[in-house]
Amino acid sequence: MRRIKAGIIGMGFIGVSHIEAIRRIGFAELVAVADVNFELAKKKASEYFIPKCYSTIDELLADPEIEVVHNCTPNNLHLEINSKIIKAGKHIFSEKPLSRTSDESAQMLELLKEYPNVIHGVNFNYRMNPLVQEMKHKIKNGEIGDVKLVHGTYLQDFLLHETDYNWRIEPEVCGPSRCIADIGSHWMDSVQCVTGAKITEVCADLVITIPVRKKPKGQVETFSINTNVEYEDMPVKTEDWGAVLIKMDNGVHGVFCVSEVSAGHGCSLAFEIDGTKASLKWEQERADEMWMGHRDGPNYAIKRNPNHMTPEAKQYTYLAGGHPEGWNDAMRNNVMAFYKFIADGKKLGVDTPDFATFDEGHYIIKLTEAIVESSKKRQWVKVD
């Protein structure tokens, strides 16, 4: 197997997780990073002994040894930067959401038609937790019977206080949806992945719980807590909370809610799939365990153990039972699936990847827009 060389654009909160994920893949090599904040890029390059550090995207893209580029910048830059990466003929692994609007993501899909050899992936990392993969294959094997219902949540509290501020609050940067685009996108991707079905209709209620926030005068790091800062008032235009009824193309009905203002919740992603024989439930904050419910027999808490997993899911687990795997491992699995697809010489459109492609990323943006429209119109909205 040959070594695949990579570069990362954006050294903020998630960029660092990409460094660590690439570093855990034996046949991948991180050769360069770039950030508009060049001091930050230099600091990360120095801390992680990354050989090259660039202050501009163009310099990184001109580097001939780089084959894969990760885009870890805020949402408003995804169209511009992803398009540049594609035009450079490099494989692209973009952060989610793929873009702010479906018009932007459609432009990327259009451009990709001219570059059929470019492999494209979106970092919907939760689908690559070993037990989420196990859930997917248990459902595929008929272990819970016919799927009838799905339900769950994704709750956070990083915007609980009116003084909490982040680029995600600004629609010009984040897009017209915040909570749904930022974390609801993960929930929808995970559920579509495990059920193998698409959400096709939505009915939503989006709520702004803090109509005016206090914006610190100065830069704010993702998930950081600020003290002793001056503020200016900022009217909020995007949702802090969303409740969404869904219908899927296999007849399944469901519901989920998302929040960035629910105290005590760091990353409470959870979903349950109810079938005619049994139910399966997985919670991100207890990632190494899955619940299987039965009416006519005992319920089980299934601990992740490679010895008892389906072969498809087993390829994404590394540690023996009792040694917990979690968020970082799912990140690594997602990046690994992307690099392995390239290393194996697979082609999109011919081979089906385990990671989400730009097509799936685009569909999630369309769902997000349908949810916003539904909440405005107070009615069900179908997605094409």
Ligand X SMILES: NC(=O)c1ccc[n+]([C@@H]2O[C@H](COP(=O)([O-])OP(=O)(O)OC[C@H]3O[C@@H](n4cnc5c(N)ncnc54)[C@H](O)[C@@H]3O)[C@@H](O)[C@H]2O)c1
Given 6, 72, 236, 257, the residue binding ligand X (CB under 6 A): 72
Q: Write the interaction track for ligand X spanning residues 208-227; mark x where CB under 6 A is met and - where it is not.
A: --------------x-----
128 binds ligand X (CB under 6 A): no
Phi and psi (nearest 5°) for 139? Answer: -65, -45
Query: Applying CB under 6 A, which part among 6-14, 44-52, 225-233, 372-380 lies near ligand X?
Result: 6-14
125 binds ligand X (CB under 6 A): yes
96 binds ligand X (CB under 6 A): yes
Q: Which is nearer to ligand X, 174 or 280 (CB)?
A: 174
Given 4, 6, 7, 10, the residue binding ligand X (CB under 6 A): 10
Give dist(CA 301, CA 73) in Å, integer. 38
Q: Which two tokens stand for residue 341?
A: 């697809």
- Give burial (CB, 10 Å; 0-12/13-18/19+) of 264: exposed
Give dist(CA 354, CA 376) in Å, integer. 34
Query: Applying CB under 6 A, which part among 8-16, 45-53, 130-138, 196-204 lies near ligand X?
Result: 8-16
Given 29, 63, 67, 95, the residue binding ligand X (CB under 6 A): 95
What's the closest the beta carbon of residue 326 comes to ligand X, in angstroms?
13
- Pairing mode, strands 120-122 and 91-94: parallel
Q: Which is nearer to ligand X, 274 or 369 (CB)?
A: 369
What's the closest the beta carbon of residue 205 comes to ligand X, in angstroms?
23
Given 123, 153, 192, 375, the residue binding ligand X (CB under 6 A): 123
Given 6, 22, 30, 57, the residue binding ligand X (CB under 6 A): 57
Query: Applying CB under 6 A, which part among 45-53, 66-74, 229-237, 249-257 lies near ligand X?
Result: 66-74
Query: Applying CB under 6 A, which part among 20-28, 72-80, 227-235, 251-259 lies near ligand X?
Result: 72-80
What's the closest the beta carbon of residue 185 comes to ligand X, in angstroms?
8
Residue nearest to ligand X (CB): 12
Give dist(CA 38, CA 56) in Å, integer. 9
Phi and psi (nearest 5°) for 312? Answer: -65, -40
What's the closest the beta carbon of residue 322 comes to ligand X, in angstroms?
26
- Reference 97, options 111, 83, 78, 81; nearest CA is 78
Write out the H or E segment, with its range, that includes residue 278: none
Given 11, 131, 202, 348, the residue binding ligand X (CB under 6 A): 11
Given 34, 236, 243, 381, the residue binding ligand X (CB under 6 A): 34
What's the closest the beta carbon of residue 36 comes to ligand X, in angstroms?
4
Is residue 145 left, alpha or beta, with left meaning phi > 0 and alpha meaning psi from -120 to 50? left
* C-alpha R_g of the chain: 21
Give dist(CA 236, CA 233) in Å, integer. 10
Given 9, 270, 273, 313, the residue binding ligand X (CB under 6 A): 9
Residues 6+ apart with CB under 8 A from 197: 147, 248, 249, 250, 252
| Beta carbons within 10 angstroms of residue 188's beta carbon | 27
| Beta carbons within 10 angstroms of residue 340's beta carbon | 19
Which residues inside 267-286 make contact with ligand X, applying CB under 6 A? Answer: none
Residues 6+ apart with CB under 8 A from 104: 78, 79, 98, 365
- CA distances 244 to 121, 259, 379, 381, Å, are 26, 12, 11, 11
What's the closest the beta carbon of residue 86 comes to ligand X, in angstroms?
16
Question: Is the distance from CB of 235 to CB of 212 less than 8 angstroms?
Answer: yes
Q: Which is nearer to ligand X, 10 or 152 (CB)?
A: 10
191 binds ligand X (CB under 6 A): no
Q: Which is nearer to ligand X, 122 or 381 (CB)?
A: 122
Total number of residues binding ligand X (CB under 6 A)?
25
Q: Which two tokens stand for residue 304?
A: 């992740």
Q: Which spans of this chain sit near ligand X (rule: CB under 6 A)?
A: 9-15, 34-37, 40, 57, 72-75, 77, 95-96, 123, 125, 167, 182, 222
